[in-house]
Structures are given as structure tokens and as C-alpha cells.
């Protein structure tokens, strides 16, 4: 299962020594619901190698604003606490894992 992040714990997540993948989503978003099981699968498969997280944009104000989240789903990739890649819109598991693999 992906780790739930919010405005309060996001900085802590970025301090991880692992590559971090964050899915920005909302309960009312159809494409977000479609990729949710994929994100959870990736979280399980990459446990110990990468930190896979979910951030509900309806429950957070600061983090989505800070990273310019204007469309959801948006998946951001961080390495060493820095934003290094992003994926906007629903995509296949291969797209997400390909970006993660490139950062590991």
C-alpha cells in the first residue's frame, strides 16, 4: 500500500534516502481511481527500493500548490529531495515503473 502524505509530513518524505514517487489524486477523479491499484501494486513491488506515496489534493493545500499541480492524476518523482520527473494523466504501469527504474 502506498504511504499517505499531506502538508504536515511531506518534508519528512522528501528527506528519504530512497527515490520517492508521489501520486497526486482526488476521490472524484476517474483517471485517479483507474491508476490507484497500479500505484498500490508498485508500492508493494518497490518496497525497500523506493518510497511510493499518495497525496489527496482535496486534503492538502500547500504541497500541490508548491509543485504546480493543475491536473490530476499527476505523479512526481524525487531523488535526493529534488523533483526530477513528472507524469501528468493516467498511464500504464510500465510508464511509472520505467521512470522509477531510471532513477534507481
Assigned C-alpha cell, 3: 504511504
Q: Of 29, 53, 55, 60, which one is the catalytic site residue? A: 29
**Residue 19 pairs with which residues in a beta bridge?**
50
Q: Which of 4, 20, 17, 104 has the alpha carbon at shortest distance from 58?
A: 4
Is 60 known to be catalytic?
Answer: no
Q: Which stretch of DSSP H or E encloses residue 76? A: strand 74-79
What is residue 51's three-state secondary structure? strand
Catalytic residue among 32, 53, 55, 60: 32
Is 29 labeled as catalytic in the residue annotation? yes
Catalytic residues: 29, 32
Amino acid at each position: 500500500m502506498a504511504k499517505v502524505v499531506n502538508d504536515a509530513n511531506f518534508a519528512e518524505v522528501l528527506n528519504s534516502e530512497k527515490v520517492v514517487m508521489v501520486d497526486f489524486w482526488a476521490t472524484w477523479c476517474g483517471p485517479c481511481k483507474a491508476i490507484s491499484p497500479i500505484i498500490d501494486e508498485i508500492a508493494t513491488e518497490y518496497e525497500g527500493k523506493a518510497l511510493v506515496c499518495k497525496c489527496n489534493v482535496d486534503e492538502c493545500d500547500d504541497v500541490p500548490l508548491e509543485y504546480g499541480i493543475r491536473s490530476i492524476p499527476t505523479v512526481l518523482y524525487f531523488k535526493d529531495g529534488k523533483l526530477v520527473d513528472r507524469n501528468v494523466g493516467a498511464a500504464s504501469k510500465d510508464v511509472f515503473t520505467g521512470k522509477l527504474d531510471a532513477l534507481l
